[in-house]
Amino acid sequence: MDSTEIRNLRNTLQLSVVEFAELLSVSKDTVYSWELGRRVPMGLIKKVMKLIAQDQDVFQKFVHMTEVEREQQRK
């Protein structure tokens, strides 16, 4: 994904930079770097973003999984 596609994905999902970063477990600076074309996502994060871009149901499942993980970490 290039910088424009990443920004468009985040906007389509109606997420702020901070929310998108939290969802992917990266810093907001990393998201800014992707969107400015200074860095590119690698490995699993790149694959997850492609899946989310292709299927909104994947996004909903991913959000649910991250919420469950957050709850488990709080315990």
Q: Write the pLDDT tens digit of every residue in 15-30.
A: 999 999 998 989 999 9
Domain that holds residue 12: 3-74
CATH code, 69: 1.10.260.40
Nearest to 35 by CA among 9, 12, 3: 3
Q: Write the pLDDT tens digit of every residue in 51-69.
A: 889 988 888 887 888 777 7
Report the percent of the chain where pLDDT is more than 90.
59
Q: Number of structural domains, the chain?
A: 1
